[in-house]
Amino acid sequence: MTYRVEALDLDSMSDDDIAPILGGVNAVNREIQPRHVDTTASEFRTFAKSPGMVKVVNVVHDASGLLVGTFDTRYSDDGTTPDVLRFEMKVFPEHRRRGAGTAMLGHAARHARVLGRTTLLTWHFDTVPAGIAFARACNGADKLQFHENVLEMSGLDIDLMKEWSRGDPTGYAIRIVEGSLPDELLAGVANLYYILERDMPLSEGQEPRTWTAELIREMTENYLREVESLVAVATVVESGLPVGLSQLIRRKSDPSTWVVTTTMVDPDHRGRSIGKWLKGSVNMVALERWPGVVYQETGNAFVNEAMLAINHAMGFEHEMTVTDVEIAVDDALEFVESRS
C-alpha cells in the first residue's frame, strides 16, 4: 500500500485541525498506559516542541487519504551524537499490519542517511506487543531499559516523607522552587543534567549533549505552558552550587497525577542521604500545595539501584518497562526493501 508523509506546522493548525490526529495518538497512549488522560491540542503543540533538538513531526495517510499514524525524528542541535537520529512512531491500532510502520521506518531511515547518520534510536513498551514485534522484525537491538513505576498516593507513608525531609546534612541547604527556576540556579542545574547523562549507561555512539543555562530556561518556559512544577534543589551552603534536585510536575489537564521528571545527586556529594532529603522535601511541599492527587509516576533505569531502592521504600510498584532500541540505518532500509 502507498502512504503519504506530511510534515506538520502545528503552530499554524487550529484545534479542529489537530483533533483527528489526537484521536489516534490518544488511542495509542491509552494502550501504552490505560490510566492515560487524553492529551489536549494545546499540550500536543507544546510537547511537540523540543528546545535543544531539531525535530520534525509528521502524519501519515494511506492511499485513500485516511490518517493512519504519526512519527517524529529529532537530533541534538549542538552537534553531539552525530551518528544517531531519534525516531518515535505511533501506528493507530486499527491501521496496523498494513505496512504503515514500514513506511514510517523507511522515511526516517532515508532522512537519517541524508543527514549522514548511521543509527536510528527508538523505544518500545512491554504493554504494546505490536511495537516489540516490529522492532524484532527489523533487526532492532534492545539497549537501556527503564522501569515505569506508579504509587497510589493513598498508600504514601507521610511519616517517612517527614523523616526524609528533616535530613539536613551538614553544609547543605534545600530550596523549593515553584514554576520557573531563578537565574542564579540555571547554570548549576544545567550541569546536573550533564552529569545525569554523563553517568547514564548510554549505548555506543551516544554522548551527553551540551547543557546550558539558556537551554534550561527555554525548556522550562516551554513545558510550563501546560504543566505546574515543583523542584527541590540541594545546594552547598558556602558556594550556592546545586548538587542535586528532584522535580515533580502535574499536567494542568490532569492534576490527579504527579510525575517525577528527575531525581539525581552529583556523585561527588552522595552518601549523605541527599536523595531522600530531596524526595521527602518536594513531596511534603506538593502535598500542601497540590491537593487532589491520586497517583505519582516515576521512571528509573534498571541499573540505578540506589534510586530504585528509594522508590521502593516510598511504595512505588512496577507498572511497565520501556526499552531503548537501536536500528542500524542499513538494516532498516534492507527491511523496508524486503517488504516492498
Per residue, the 3-state secondary structure of the chain, as one string, reads CCEEEEECCHHHCCHHHHHHHHHHHHHHHHHHCCCCCCCCHHHHHHHHCCCCEEEEEEEEEECCCCEEEEEEEEEECCCCCCCEEEEEEEECHHHCCCCHHHHHHHHHHHHHHHHCCCEEEEEEECCCHHHHHHHHHCCCEEEEEEEEEEEEHHHCCHHHHHHHHCCCCCCEEEEEEECCCCHHHHHHHHHHHHHHHHCCCCCCCCCCCCCCHHHHHHHHHHHCCCEEEEEEEEEECCCCCEEEEEEEEEECCEEEEEEEEEEEECHHHCCCCHHHHHHHHHHHHHHHHCCCCCEEEEEEECCCHHHHHHHHHHCCEEEEEEEEEEEEHHHHHHHHHHHC
Same domain, 200 and 231: yes
Work out the average pLDDT over 231-257: 98
Q: Which cell is 207 given? A: 554522548
Same domain, 333 and 238: no
Work out the average pLDDT over 34-44: 95
Work out the average pLDDT over 238-246: 97
Residues of the chain with pLDDT > 90, as a percent, come to 91
The pLDDT, as a whole number, for residue 164 is 98
Work out the average pLDDT over 248-264: 97
* pLDDT tens column, 175-205: 999 999 999 999 999 999 999 999 887 777 7
pLDDT value at 301 more than 90: no
Same domain, 125 and 236: no
Non-local (6+) Cβ contacts of 161 within 8 A are 279, 280, 283, 284, 287, 314
Distances (CA, A) of 113 to 134, 216, 222, 330: 21, 30, 30, 9
| pLDDT range class, residue 300, cuts 50, 70, 90 | confident
Same domain, 173 and 86: no
Distances (CA, A) of 311 to 154, 305, 320: 15, 10, 15
Residue 319 lies in a domain: no
Chain centre distance of CA 134: 21
pLDDT value at 8 more than 70: yes
Same domain, 30 and 88: yes
CB 236 within 8 A of CB 165: no
Residue 122 lies in a domain: yes
| pLDDT range class, residue 113, cuts 50, 70, 90 | very high
pLDDT value at 5 more than 90: yes
The pLDDT, as a whole number, for residue 230 is 98
* pLDDT tens column, 64-83: 999 999 999 999 999 999 99
The reply to whether the predicted model has a pTM over 0.85 is yes
Sheet with 3-7: list strands edge to edge.
3-7, 53-62, 67-76, 84-91, 119-125, 317-328, 141-152, 295-301, 254-265, 242-251, 227-236, 172-178
Residue 250 lies in a domain: yes
As for how many domains the chain has, the answer is 2
Same domain, 308 and 220: yes
The conformation of residue 238, written as its DSSP 8-state character, comes to: T
Same domain, 165 and 308: yes
Handedness of CA 308, 81, 118, 90 (dihedral sign): positive
Non-local (6+) Cβ contacts of 286 within 8 A are 230, 248, 258, 293
User: Using CA atoms, how far apart are residues 178 and 166, in angstroms rounded to an integer?
Assistant: 20
Same domain, 134 and 180: no
Same domain, 141 and 178: no
Q: What is the CATH number of the domain that holds 115?
A: 3.40.630.30
Residues of the chain with pLDDT > 70, as a percent, come to 99
Tell me which residue has cell 503543540. 45
Residues in the chain: 340
* pLDDT tens column, 117-133: 999 999 999 999 999 99
Residue 289 lies in a domain: yes
| Mean pLDDT score of the chain | 95
Same domain, 42 and 137: yes
Residue 183 lies in a domain: yes
The pLDDT, as a whole number, for residue 302 is 67
| pLDDT range class, residue 212, cuts 50, 70, 90 | very high
pLDDT value at 158 more than 90: yes
pLDDT value at 46 more than 80: yes
Residue 152 lies in a domain: no
pLDDT value at 36 more than 70: yes
Distances (CA, A) of 48 to 8, 51, 110, 121, 304: 10, 10, 22, 18, 29
Same domain, 295 and 169: yes
Work out the average pLDDT over 329-335: 98
Residue ranges making up the domain that contains 242: 157-314
Q: Which of 273, 261, 288 is nearest to 189 (CA)?
A: 261
